[in-house]
Amino acid sequence: MKDLTQALRELTGMLDSLSVPYAVMGGMAVRVHGIPRPTHDVDFTIALRRERLPDLFALVIDAGYSVAEPHLQGWVDNVAGMPLVKIRMHMEDHGIDIDIFLAESEFQKSLVARRQRETLEGHPIWFVTPEDLVLLKLIAGRPRDFVDVQDVLFTQGELDNAYLRRWAGSLGVADRLEQALREWQE
């Protein structure tokens, strides 16, 4: 966890220095909004235009991180309809992958606008809301993600179901949301 916290602190500091709004998501957000579980990477959504990616890449490379050559050349991956670039933090005996999603869709822009400041191990950091975390986990759709959804629902209690249903419909995960809500209420 120490390595992940270090990566999180360093990266949020770099994003703040560039005045880039961000929201931490994935397993680190589950630690804040649900039941903590092991995670081995850090996931962000950031509000940064693609033409500014070289500024971010230069900063992370100066800090000792690496960026894959295709990303340095301007290539942006796409996962579940969301643009993504990857960087890697190098530790003595291992590395930590950092997935950075670019907030280009209306959902992702909403996610960044709704972010919440939370404290993780004494450090204030912007995280996705519980609702947006649930939606992201439903989009990912892996078995582990459904467990995370149930943990967030259990820990948080009642969420903004109108918001969840509105976005779940437009994101194509309405059936998954309804199933998760039914299972939570059982």
Which DSSP letter does residue 65 get? Answer: -
> How far is residue 102's CA from residue 25's CA, in Å, rounded to a whole number?
13
**Per-residue model confidence (pLDDT) at position 2:** 54
**Per-residue model confidence (pLDDT) at position 54:** 96
Task: Give, in order, the Cα–Cα distances in Å from 90 to each of 41, 62, 93, 97, 111.
Answer: 12, 13, 8, 9, 29
Instruction: Name the pairing type of β-strands 41-46 and 95-102.
Output: parallel
> How far is residue 148's CA from residue 130's CA, in Å, rounded to a whole number?
11
**Per-residue model confidence (pLDDT) at position 160:** 96
* pTM of the predicted protein model: 0.93
Mean pLDDT by 10 residues, the chain (186 residues): 78 94 96 88 95 96 94 93 92 83 96 94 93 97 95 94 96 96 88
**Per-residue model confidence (pLDDT) at position 1:** 47
Q: Map out the domains of the chain with their CATH numbers.
A: 2-185 (3.30.460.40)
Nearest to 101 by CA among 87, 115, 84: 84
CB 61 within 8 A of CB 67: yes
